[in-house]
């Protein structure tokens, strides 16, 4: 298949710039793998579609406020850094812009001096290695929380008023460059309601990399090289999934990241069990799913690996029809947008 097979027309005004309040008030398109029916609901209806004994798998990663603005100590020039990977305690790989201001040996100050960094190396790809210094009585991540901003996707141009709205209510494990956005619709009340109904909740961790926004450049999608991300499937979640399947329940992935975690484990291990490793799994039409029975996911960018994953699960033609319907019905798209549930 070609990249252009996954293109659709999206009016710019349908790209959600801000999150809805409350979280569960977003629209939810309900779809079935068995037929072509399309139902228009809201996320607060989600409990109606899940049965006692079903299991929801949520990604509990937490987004780093990884965008920081430093002032060059010599000149006062401002440089934006985007933290990518923690290499050791206070040493990070980062994007820097404008790069010409971030030469080796240059020192930058953040938050009126509570954090400083020195550029120690420029990599071949232009990324910088930077070493931070700060008051050792403090914690680096506490300081980052004060000086950093959420690394919102490029298509969101409005400022986010509340940083927690780009985190799920169950986020726990710090390390993502982007939120697992299907989870943004959940409230603590919905989770309680689901548990009371007998729906199981299990957690995985996949730290979302910036590669999730990298466009597919290859015309033939099979030629696309997927980015690598790290995941952890805990023993208790693996056991929950196995027991759910044995009892005839459904395993529903919340988001493409949870889906990719479960399908990676099933592919690499040949079964569902505790696992911790990097994955570059690329799911597109023709892929045979090995674990999940349902998927909750937002509406994704045209020609992205994410719409390809949805097409693999729901069917190519049905997916494009659902997206056209979403445009016609003025659904909100992308990270702060509405969602679909495929069962």
83 half-sphere exposure, CB direction, 13 A CA radius? 30
- What pLDDT score does 80 carry? 96
Q: HEC string of the chain?
A: CEHHHHCCCCCHHHECCCCCCCHHHCEEEEECCCCCCEEEEEHHHHHHHCCCCCEEEEECEEECCCEEEEEECCCCCEEEEEEEEEEECCEEEEEEECHHHCCCCCEEEEHHHCEEEEEEEECCCCCEEEEEECCCCCCHHHHHHHHCECCCCCCCCCCCCCHHHHCCCCCCEEEECCCCHHHHHCCHHHHHHHHHHCCEEEEEEECCCHHHHCCCCCCEHHHCCCCCEEEEECHHHHHHHHHHHHCCCCEEEECHHHHHHHHHHHHHHCCCCCEEEEECCCCCCCCCCCCCCEEEEECCCCCCHHHHHHHHHHCHHHHHHHHHHHHHCCCCECCCCCEEEEC
- What pLDDT score does 158 carry? 95
Q: How many domains does the chain have?
A: 2
117 and 243 belong to one structural domain: no
Q: Which domain holds residue 56?
A: 3-63+162-342
- What pLDDT score does 210 carry? 79
Cα 7 to Cα 302: distance, rounded to the nearest angstrom: 5
Domain boundary among 147, 176, 195: 147
181 and 284 belong to one structural domain: yes
174 and 254 belong to one structural domain: yes
Q: Contacts by 74-81 with C-beta closer than 8 Å and gap 24+? A: 74/106, 74/107, 77/101, 79/108, 81/108, 81/117, 81/128, 81/130
- In sequence order, the β-bridge partners of residue 278 are 230
- Please tell me whether the peptide bond between 22 and the residue prior to it is cis, using omega within 30 degrees of 0: yes
- What pLDDT score does 208 carry? 93
- What pLDDT score does 212 carry? 81
87 and 218 belong to one structural domain: no
Identify whether the C-beta of residue 274 lies closer than 8 Å to the C-beta of residue 238.
yes
Could you tell me the pTM of the whole model? 0.93
- What pLDDT score does 211 carry? 79
- What pLDDT score does 214 carry? 81
58 and 97 belong to one structural domain: no
- In sequence order, the β-bridge partners of residue 279 are 229
Identify whether the C-beta of residue 13 lies closer than 8 Å to the C-beta of residue 323.
no
- Please tell me whether the peptide bond between 98 and the residue prior to it is cis, using omega within 30 degrees of 0: yes
User: 97: closest CA among 120, 65, 116, 119?
Assistant: 119
Identify whether the C-beta of residue 82 lies closer than 8 Å to the C-beta of residue 94.
yes
58 and 76 belong to one structural domain: no
196 and 326 belong to one structural domain: yes
CATH number, domain with residue 77: 2.40.10.240
Burial of 129 (0-12, 13-18, 19+ CB in 10 A): middle
Low-confidence residues of the chain: pLDDT under 50: none
- What pLDDT score does 317 carry? 98
CATH number, domain with residue 262: 3.40.1780.10
55 token code pair: 């299991």
238 and 214 belong to one structural domain: yes
- What pLDDT score does 47 carry? 98
Identify whether the C-beta of residue 108 lies closer than 8 Å to the C-beta of residue 79.
yes
């Amino acid at each position: 298949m070609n990249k252009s097979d996954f293109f659709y027309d999206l009016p710019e005004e349908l790209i959600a710039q801000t999150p809805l309040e409350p979280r569960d008030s977003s629209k939810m398109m309900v779809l079935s793998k068995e037929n072509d029916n399309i139902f228009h609901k809201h996320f607060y209806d989600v409990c109606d579609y899940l049965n006692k004994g079903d299991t929801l798998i949520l990604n509990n990663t937490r987004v780093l406020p990884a965008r920081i603005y430093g002032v060059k100590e010599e000149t006062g020039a401002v440089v934006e850094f985007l933290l990518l990977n923690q290499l050791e305690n206070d040493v990070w790989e980062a994007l820097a812009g404008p790069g010409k201001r971030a030469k080796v040996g240059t020192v930058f100050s953040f938050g009126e001096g509570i954090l400083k960094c020195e550029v120690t190396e420029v990599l071949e790809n232009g990324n910088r290695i930077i070493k931070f210094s700060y008051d050792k009585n403090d914690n680096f991540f506490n300081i980052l929380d004060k000086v950093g901003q959420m690394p919102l996707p490029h298509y969101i141009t409005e400022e986010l008023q509340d940083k927690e709205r780009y985190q799920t209510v169950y986020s726990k494990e710090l390390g993502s460059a982007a939120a697992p956005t299907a989870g943004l619709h959940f409230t603590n009340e919905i989770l309680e309601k689901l548990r009371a109904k007998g729906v199981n909740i299990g957690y995985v961790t996949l730290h979302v990399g910036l590669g999730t926004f990298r466009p597919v450049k290859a015309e033939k999608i099979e030629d696309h090289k997927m980015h690598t991300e790290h995941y952890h499937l805990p023993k208790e979640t693996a056991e929950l999934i196995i027991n759910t399947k044995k009892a005839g329940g459904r395993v529903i992935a919340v988001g493409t990241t949870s889906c990719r975690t479960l399908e990676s484990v099933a592919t690499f291990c040949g079964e569902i069990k505790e696992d911790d490793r990097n994955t570059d799994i690329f799911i597109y039409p023709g892929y045979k799913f090995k674990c999940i029975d349902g998927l909750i996911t937002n509406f994704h960018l045209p020609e992205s690996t994410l719409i390809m994953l949805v097409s693999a699960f729901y069917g190519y033609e049905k997916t494009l029809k659902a997206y056209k319907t979403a445009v016609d019905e003025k659904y909100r798209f992308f990270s702060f947008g509405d969602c679909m549930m495929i069962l």
